[in-house]
Structure 1
Amino acid sequence: MRSPSISIYFIQACLKNLSHRPDTQRELLAKNHISPAILQSTTARVPAENYADLLRDTMQEMDDELMGYGSMPQKLGCWSTMVELAANSANLGEGLKKLTRFYRLVPWGLETRLNTDNNGNAYVSLSHSNDAHGRRQFDPYLYESFLFYIHRTANWLIGRQIPLHAVDFCFAETQHRAVYWDMYFCKDIYFQQPLSQLRFSASMLELPVAKSAQAISAFLIHVNQAMITQIYAQKSWHYKVSTRLESQLSDNPSFSDFAKGFNIHPHTLRSYLRDEGFQYQDIKDRVRRDSAIFYLSSRGKSVEETAALTGFSEASAFIRAFKKWTGNTPIHYKRKS
């Protein structure tokens, strides 16, 4: 399945602490085929691979894996070192203990901890450290992104998606709340909590970790891309529908015909999707949107070609739909080189 697109919020956040170096910002955007014209939009999207590459290049440019969001820079290689330590664990619980202990040794303003309770719940939390730089509220992006990286790394360690019961944040509700579903696949998001943390079943901590040296090396080649494009939901109906839709977009099948491909009644398929919190039209719009952005930004397709590939009989109808999805016209996403 083609990797998803990413909200422009994350592109803006990635470059935020380089605002005093506009030339560097433009160079990084150009290098990663992201149009500066869409930065002012609140609804624009960018291919996940482009965002992953921008993250890597920004971290290298700033020599800081936290990109200026922590109380002090975090040297390149910290996350890779932690991954190697965590990957050499008997189970997920041991791996997360190593992860959280490692980041309590790194001075960056927050402390990571793994805890469990008597009700079978596990928590990976971020709390403010007591050092000279601590006890201050950081930008929401630091909490959002660090919990995202912990969750995706934990998924990779056991080779499956860890269902989250809830995600807590210590800051007030944000205007970009909608992006959290794509980050955590969790609907229960709570704000202004004592800690920023992931909540999940403690039974997951017993699952084995079995990563070969080759698997670890492959993961570390491009950690950002490995986590941002990660998919472990192959058994879900949402994943099955998205994947099949992607291969049939140009044919623009009706829902009835589409359901026949699974040998089930359309009402049954709608019910399956509803149980997972999805509607077919929303999935179709998302697949069309992400595919269109991919064809325009990564493959250099024309607007007319992209319209046909995503199931539109007329370019004008595609342009209207694309503007509704992203707030911008397709031309803003056309790859320059």
Structure 2
Amino acid sequence: MAKAHIANHYLQATLRGAERQGHDGPTLLEQAGIPADWLNTPEQLITEQQLTQLVKSVWRATRDEFLGLSSEPCNNGTFALMCDYCLGSATLGAVLRKSAHFYRVICRNLDIALEEQGRQVFFRLHLKDAQNDTDHLLQEFLILMWERLSCWLVDQQIPFARTQFSYPAPAHEAEYRAMYPGELKFEQPVCGFLFHEKYLQLPIVRSEEELRQFLQAAPAYILHRPSQDESLRARIHALLARYNYPDMPGLDALGRELHMTPRNIGRKLQDEGTSLRKIKETLRREHATRLMTSESLSISEIAELVGFSETAAFSRAFKRWTGLSPARWRGSQVNG
């Protein structure tokens, strides 16, 4: 049986726009298989599946993918059309740029763009007029959509460095900790999320059939909350992901960031069966093997992207990681 772990707050928040249009909340709850008396019962948590079905009920009733929470509606099918339009892109960066262009044309109430900020990139995803989004549900949902879609398209959990919101921390802030990885910031000029530019080069690995299944189940994947890894290894992995590979900090700098002594970090990592060197090498290896599936990048370009100044040094490291040279590994993927 699915575990109920989502705050009851989301029942009323999901219904609010539909009720404002004259739709009956209890009827929509019934269509989603949720007892009407659960409404405004804080102790009654709900499952991801129940929230998924309620969102679908509201979509059908309002004929609006923005759930009646925007000053301008967004026709059902818009997100699917955008995904279909972007799927042929080679990289995540291309998808984000094309999706931003698509929604700028379709939805006038959405301020959306991919911006470079040094070695970081910021995906601005901001409701221009949020007066109908009193619970911030639509703004939350939009950011979840693009973060989760990005991870799904490349089949990897992208370490988002920061997710930010233009409003003060809401009463249900604890839910944000479960929904959004990385740092959270409130009362910012605009909403959006920040991550390192190197992830823009990740190749898109999903097929048309996989996209069809993803959309058919929507918004199930978007609302799914991945399990949280609270280990020190995971925390350091997320911190290092914010840097260029040659600039990844050592134990002293990490100690200042984590408020731990370098000695304690080393000991704790050893207890977890790893080390800082192994974590750094894992980051390089995982990113290199992802990039190697992209036909648009040469081996020398991949070597540079993962922090090797010489292709020969990268080739030796790659063979140590996989047992094959980069060229033979790439050939085995094509033939396999």
Q: What TM-score do the two structures reach when normalised by structure 1?
A: 0.63
Alignment partner, residue 110 of structure 1: 110
Offset from partner CA, 1:152-206 (integer Å, 9 cap, x none): 11111101111121111111221110001221133x2111111101111111111
Specify the structure having the higher radius of gyration (Cα): 2
**Do the aligned residues in 1 keep the contact of 2:31 with 2:57 (CA within 8 Å)?**
no
Once the two structures are superposed, the pairs formed by residues 135-284 of structure 1 within 5 Å of their partners are 140-186=136-182, 188-229=183-224, 231=226
Instruction: Give the Cα separation in 2 of the matches to 1:206 and 1:232.
Output: 26
Alignment partner, residue 70 of structure 2: 70
Instruction: Give the Cα separation in 2 of the matches to 1:135 and 1:114.
Output: 25
Instruction: Give the Cα separation in 1 of the matches to 2:170 and 2:270.
Output: 32
Q: Give me the identity figure in percent.
A: 23
Structure 1: give runs of 5+ residues left out of the alignment: 240-267, 274-337
Offset from partner CA, 1:81-101 (integer Å, 9 cap, x none): 111122221010001111111
- Judged with a 3 Å threshold, the aligned counterparts in structure 2 of structure 1 residues 3 and 135 are, in CA distance, closer, same or farther, namely closer
Q: Which moved more, 1:108-117 or 1:175-184?
A: 108-117
Alignment partner, residue 123 of structure 1: 122
Alignment partner, residue 319 of structure 2: none
Instruction: Give the Cα separation in 2 of the matches to 1:135 and 1:58.
Output: 19
Instruction: Give the Cα separation in 1 of the matches to 2:60 and 2:200.
Output: 33
Deviation of the 1:42 alpha carbon: 3.1
**Alpha carbon RMSD of aligned pairs, Å?**
3.4
Instruction: Give the Cα separation in 2 of the matches to 1:17 and 1:33.
Output: 19
- Judged with a 3 Å threshold, the aligned counterparts in structure 2 of structure 1 residues 85 and 236 are, in CA distance, closer, same or farther, namely farther
Deviation of the 1:149 alpha carbon: 0.7
Instruction: Give the Cα separation in 2 of the matches to 1:86 and 1:196.
Output: 23
Instruction: Give the Cα separation in 1 of the matches to 2:40 and 2:131.
Output: 32
Offset from partner CA, 1:1-26 (integer Å, 9 cap, x none): 95763222222111012335787311
Deviation of the 1:269 alpha carbon: 10
- Judged with a 3 Å threshold, the aligned counterparts in structure 2 of structure 1 residues 63 and 194 are, in CA distance, closer, same or farther, namely same
Offset from partner CA, 1:83-122 (integer Å, 9 cap, x none): 112222101000111111111112341211111222x211
Alignment partner, residue 12 of structure 1: 12
- Judged with a 3 Å threshold, the aligned counterparts in structure 2 of structure 1 residues 223 and 269 are, in CA distance, closer, same or farther, namely farther
Offset from partner CA, 1:194-242 (integer Å, 9 cap, x none): 1101111111111100221211111111220132236487998999xxx
Q: Which amino acid aligns with 1:106?
A: I
Number of aligned residues:
241
Q: Which amino acid aligns with 1:26?
A: P
**Do the aligned residues in 1 keep the contact of 2:154 with 2:203 (CA within 8 Å)?**
yes
Q: Which amino acid aligns with 2:145?
A: Y
Q: Which moved more, 1:220-229 or 1:169-178?
A: 220-229
Instruction: Give the Cα separation in 2 of the matches to 1:230 and 1:271.
Output: 29
Offset from partner CA, 1:19-65 (integer Å, 9 cap, x none): 35787311221222212223213343111011111101111110100
Secondary structure of the corresponding residue to residue 161 of structure 2: strand
- Judged with a 3 Å threshold, the aligned counterparts in structure 2 of structure 1 residues 203 and 43 are, in CA distance, closer, same or farther, namely farther
**Do the aligned residues in 2 keep the contact of 1:121 with 1:199 (CA within 8 Å)?**
yes
